[in-house]
Structure 1
Amino acid sequence: MFDFDAIDADKDGKITPEEMTAHRAARVAEIDANKDGKISADELTAMHMKAAEARAKDHVAQMITHMDSDGDGALSAAELLAMPGPGPKMMERVDTDGDGAISKAEMEAAQARMAEWKGKRHGKGHGKPGHGPDMEQDDN
């Protein structure tokens, strides 16, 4: 996420090229944990893990905010099971032989169609998992 205020060092409401460069240099220095002037695979992994953890914590907080029906700050099994999941429309789209069940081959075919759709729509798989013409979720 672009943090304008963090980059605008002098807080004048504008970002100069110098401020952008300084901000980027500070971020690189932060990643270089052993301060050797090089970013190792372990340091890059740590950077990505830190970002992933922050995203996961945000997602969990949102889940609790939206799904904690009793307000206890945690999700019970019942609250988790109440979360919307694949509905009948998704089942119908994936169950191409109409037998009322999804075989492994049908699921793999649906996933291949979704990957193709995401590649066309977002360019090389930058779409959201579980979204697309064959994997839409509904509450039915």
Structure 2
Amino acid sequence: MADAQDRFTQGMATRRSVLGERYVAAAVANTDPFTEDFQTLITESAWGTVWSRDTISKRERSMLTIALLAALGHHDEVAMHIRATRNTGASMSDIKEALLHVAIYAGVPAANHAFKIAKATYAEMQDDQAD
């Protein structure tokens, strides 16, 4: 089992590969004594342990993550992970399928709102590419 420093190092590498250098740099820059332990926890656990596993692809993890976040109503995180699909390989069609599952298994209102967020986020991403 990797030690905490190894998990943190791997977690930062995975986090950057999924969310992008700019997003992670901003999160790190905004870390203060109050949020430092939380940032360490998510870097080691979410990114260094779960997202770094090689049992399923980052594309599949992306789809699962977006579906779970949508089902739980974590709207800001849905948008963040939609933006991350640029790096994970999950297509718009993949995300549509994941959100259709949300409609059936977590409820139409959750999926409806997630579709709105996804549509707006994809439009922003397209605008960013045009700049």
**TM superposition score normalised by structure 2:** 0.26
Higher helix share: 2
Q: Which has the higher contact order (CA 8 A, sep 6+)?
A: 2
